[in-house]
Structure 1
Amino acid sequence: MIKRLQHYWAITVFTLFFLPLTINLGLWQLDRADQKILLQQSLTALEQPIMVPDDQGLILAELQSLQRVTLNSSFIKPFVWFKDNQVVSGKVGYDAIGLIGAGDNLLLVNRGWFASNGQRDPLPEIDWVNGKVSLTGRLVPVQVNPYQLGEDTYSDQYPQLVQEISPAVLTEHLAASIEGTLLPWVLILDTPGDATLTPHWKASAMASEKHMAYAWQWFGLALTLCLLYIYRVFYSPIDTKR
């Protein structure tokens, strides 16, 4: 046996390197599948929208992430930001993000997507929603854009084109013109209404079933590697000409 292991040392090294790698990748995909299952369970549990009274904006700060809520409020002029590089059904466009008052707080509202049609200078115009409207959606924590090419520069000209929404930077920018605490949420509208454009937000781009399928692919590759190694090292004839 030692002679065969010495003869196939290169195959042994290859197997010892890639076998743990494929197993760990399979376990990682299983872990990701569990995370997606828990996320889906959370979405289901928080599906029923909570009605937030007009003067109870403080309630929003106490709610769980991904909770659906319904509230009535008015968009504050002239604040509107277009989030760049949003792709829906293969088309590039913007997400329109406005600002509303919620009691003594301020809340960002993602109205959804609209096609840019390549227009950037000047930016396209969208219809302003006047008066108090009913808004229903999920409270989603603001997430950093990992692909941001550079820092956004906020100005007093609206609409503004941005790559991401940064609550810390935006709070500093808004402090000079409006009072109120900016909540760390974005209310992403998911129900048709006067303010809703094209909803497209998803909690995850990949379902748990796909992670499971990837996991079994990695485990299958690990099993195949083991079987090939066992056959090659212990059962195949040794090539004495090497």
Structure 2
Amino acid sequence: MRSSRIPDLWRFVLITLAAVLCAAIAASLGFWQLGRAAQKQALFDAIARQQAQAPWHNAQLAAKLPMVTEPIGAGQAQELLHRPAQLQGQWLAEQTVFLDNRQMQGRVGFYVLTPLRLAAPYEHVVIIVQRGWVPRNFMERTALPEVRTPDGTVSIAGRLESPPSKLLELEAAGDGGADPDGQKSRILQNADIAQWAHRSGLPLLGLSLVQTEGTAGDGLLRDWPQINAGVQKHYGYAAQWFGLGILVVLLYVWFQLVRRFYLRPRAAGAAAQPR
């Protein structure tokens, strides 16, 4: 009798350890997802506070934003990125480039980038402006869309951001991106500000400006993606992990405790009673 209970005891111990381990892993993963949600929410709140700051003008931009040849530290980036800016300057239209394969509102087209030389006395400073998006001509791939670029001094508003994210280049090029028509056109796959500054000789700043207002009638779409904390996804994953842990505990309690120590003895006692 004793020897027959030893395997049963070991089975109970192993199942108990497995249940505890599974529940602990599920709980730890659930708390990890909650931690990720808290991190993303804190980052989103920091960006929102930065966007709510008073906008910089030419003087602050020239004084605080480093040139592209100077490295930007992590602490400095927190102060600069997403900051609103209202600038006055002159478009360098001949330096406009079109970034290929960029989407907006579900359509594929170009991001239009044009350098803006700040108005005097800061004309020694030039910043790349992500002006907006235009559709491309799919019948003639190398055709450039018409973008109205006014002469003289213009006033624009936007926010300071990193250059547009880089896409995979199927063909290397030494001028900052792939050249689709092989003729050194203004259609590029990517734009590198450092290479742009070296190629053009312009005194470019290390960040770009995503334009949100100004230059009415230029035909550009500016429905830029909105920053989203994305915490709901992590809350959903956390709920799934916690739910799995609770399920493991409930199954263990039912099959290993309730049925083993309560229902089974009662059934055995009922069967042993004389009728």
Per the shorter chain, which TM-score range? 0.7 to 0.9
Instruction: Tell me how far 1:21 sits from its aligned partner.
Output: 5.8
* RMSD value, Cα: 3.5
In structure 2, the residue matched to 1:31 is 36
Task: Check if 1:190 corresponds to 2:196.
Answer: no
- List per-residue Cα deviations over 1:96-117 (Å, max 9, x = no partner): 1111123322211111222225
CA distance in 1, matches of 2:89, 2:106: 33
Using the size of structure 2 for normalisation, the TM-score is 0.66
Alpha-carbon displacement from aligned partner over 1:85-136 (angstroms, at most 9, x marks no partner): 3222222222111111233222111112222253562133222312222111
Task: Write the distance in 1 (CA, Å) between the matches of 2:117 and 2:222.
Answer: 22
1:26 and 1:216 in contact (8 A); partners too: no
Q: Report the 3-state secondary structure (helix = DSSP H, G, I; strand = E; otherwise coil) of the residue aligned with 1:202.
A: coil
Alignment of 1:1-242 (within 5 A): 1-6=9-14, 8=15, 12=18, 16=21, 20=25, 23-24=28-29, 26-53=31-58, 57-61=62-66, 64-102=80-118, 103=122, 104-118=124-138, 121-131=141-151, 132-142=153-163, 144-145=165-166, 148-150=168-170, 152-153=172-173, 154=175, 157-162=184-189, 164-174=190-200, 178-180=201-203, 182-191=204-213, 193-194=215-216, 197-202=220-225, 204-235=227-258
Q: Tell me if the contact between 2:93 and 2:149 (Cα under 8 Å) persists in the aligned partners.
A: no
> Which of these two proteins has the greater Rg computed from alpha carbons?
2
Q: TM-score, normalised by structure 1?
A: 0.73
Q: Distance in 1 between matches of 2:210 and 2:33?
A: 30
The one-letter code matched in structure 1 to 2:206 is P
Cα 1:148–1:44 change in 2 (3 A) is same
Aligned residues: 228
For residues 45-77 of structure 1, give each alpha carbon's deviation from its aligned partner in whole angstroms, at most 9, with x where no partner exists: 433552413796334448621101000112213
Are the structure 2 counterparts of residues 115 and 97 from structure 1 closer, same or farther at C-alpha, using a change threshold of 3 Å?
same
**1:149 shift after superposition:** 3.8
Give the gaps of 5 or more residues in structure 2. 1-8, 67-75, 261-275
Q: Secondary structure at the match of 2:95?
A: strand
Contact 1:4 1:234 in 2 (8 A): no
AA at the equivalent of 1:179: L
Percent sequence identity over aligned pairs: 18
Higher share of residues assigned strand: 1
- Cα 1:218–1:86 shift into 2, 3 Å: farther
Pairwise CA distance, 1:236: 5.3
* Greater share of helix: 2
Judge which range, 63-72 or 219-228, deviates more: 219-228
